[in-house]
Amino acid sequence: MRFRERCSLLGIIAAAAAVGLGTAAPAQAAPAGDVQPYIVGGTRAAQGEFPWMVRLSMGCGGAMYTPQIVLTAAHCVSRTGPNTGITATVGTVDLNSGGTRVRSTYVHRSPTYNTSTGGDWALVKLASPVSGVPTLPIATTTAYNSGTFDIAGWGAAREGGAQQRYLLKAKVPFVDDATCASPGGIYNDLIPRAELCAGNMASGGVDTCQGDSGGPMFRRDGSGNWIQVGITSWGRGCARPNAPGVYTEVSTFASAIADAARRI
């Protein structure tokens, strides 16, 4: 693995058990009251604020691409094919209360993932459409690939921390490719045509973290509507200075995503 992907070990263990992919020692859950009001450096989202947000049972996030398909990260799933082992929770900010839960039927994993072309995206088809929940359109051009972005997820509120019960949100500024790659190390692997960077380079403090993988990075378009520009993918630790978050550049893969969605 060339980078530290932002997935949840606890979620992967649960998903593996559900689909018979193997066993692992159980992880210790966080105390019920251990809920912090930030993603990393953010605040709690209000019910209905981002209604297209999805929590997947393998420990990743996602967004409703169509009423029956969730867009997430390729590194959150193992392969393309039938899959009934994932449960999507939609329509709630509190994972312990409310919302709709639907099982998966099929997964499409980007065939270019982990290649020099990049492509950390995947689609999860649900057993039935989710009614009453809006979808999140994806960017088809680079017009919105800069500025200030919004991020959200149920991942850890600090590096190495517990997954969160409540949906958390934050804002992160765009970081250009040259600046993103300047710290070196794993950032030498940045694929400029396929990935976007965002975060506070000098100070850190705000970021996605483990368990936020697959969730959307989004902003308002020219008409004031939400549009997805990125998918939470990887980074060095969480919210460290000179270690921005790296996101799949959705506009690069918009046509491939649309084609795959029509086929599954």
Of 41, 56, 42, nearest to 8 (Cα)?
56
Report DSSP state, residue 250.
G
Q: What per-residue confidence (pLDDT) applies to 263? A: 96
**Of the listed ranges 41-45, 56-60, 66-70, 229-233, the one predicted with least confidence:** 41-45
Supply angle C-alpha 78, 82, 212, rounded to 5. 40
Spell out the domain ranges in the chain: 9-20+51-135+253-263, 142-251
Q: What is the mean pLDDT of the chain?
A: 88
Residue 190 gets which letter from DSSP?
-
Q: Is the pLDDT of residue 189 over 60?
A: yes
Query: Backbone dihedral region of 19: left (phi > 0), alpha (psi from -120 to 50 degrees) or beta?
Result: alpha
Closest alpha carbon to 174 in 194, 198, 151:
198
Distances (CA, A) of 70 to 40, 86, 107: 24, 11, 10
Question: Does domain 142-251 bear CATH number 2.40.10.10?
Answer: yes
Res. 119: pLDDT tops 50: yes
Q: Which of 8, 78, 213, 251 is catalytic?
A: 213
User: Would you place residue 5 in the very low, low, confident or very high pLDDT band (cuts 50, 70, 90)?
Assistant: low
Is 120 catalytic? The answer is yes
Span 245-258, average pLDDT: 98
DSSP 8-state secondary structure symbol assigned to residue 166 = B
* Mean pLDDT within 26-40: 39
The arithmetic mean of pLDDT across residues 134-152, rounded, is: 98
**Per-residue model confidence (pLDDT) at position 178:** 97
155 vs 167: CA distance, rounded Å: 8
pLDDT at 76 exceeding the cut of 80: yes
**Which of the residues 120, 150, 207, 212 is marked catalytic?**
120
Does residue 150 have an active-site annotation?
no
Average pLDDT over residues 69-82: 98
Concerning whether 75 is annotated as a catalytic residue, the answer is: yes
Q: What is the pLDDT of residue 12?
A: 41
Question: Hey, is 259 helix, strand or coil?
Answer: helix
Percent of the chain exceeding pLDDT 90 equals 84
Instruction: Please list the residues that pair with 148 across neighbouring strands.
Output: 173
Q: Strands 81-82 and 69-72: what pairing?
A: unpaired
What average pLDDT does range 52-60 have in this prediction?
97
What fold is seen in the domain 9-20+51-135+253-263? Thrombin, subunit H (2.40.10)
Name the more confident of 179 and 16: 179
**Mean pLDDT of all residues in 209-228:** 97
Collect all residues with Cβ–Cβ distance below 8 Å to 100 and sequence separation of at least 6: 89, 90, 91, 130, 133
Residue 37 pLDDT > 60? no
Torsion of CA 25, 109, 127, 219, to 10 degrees: 100
pLDDT digits (tens, 9 = 90+) for 208-217: 999 999 999 9
CA distances to 105, 109, 123, 213 from 83, in Å: 5, 12, 11, 19
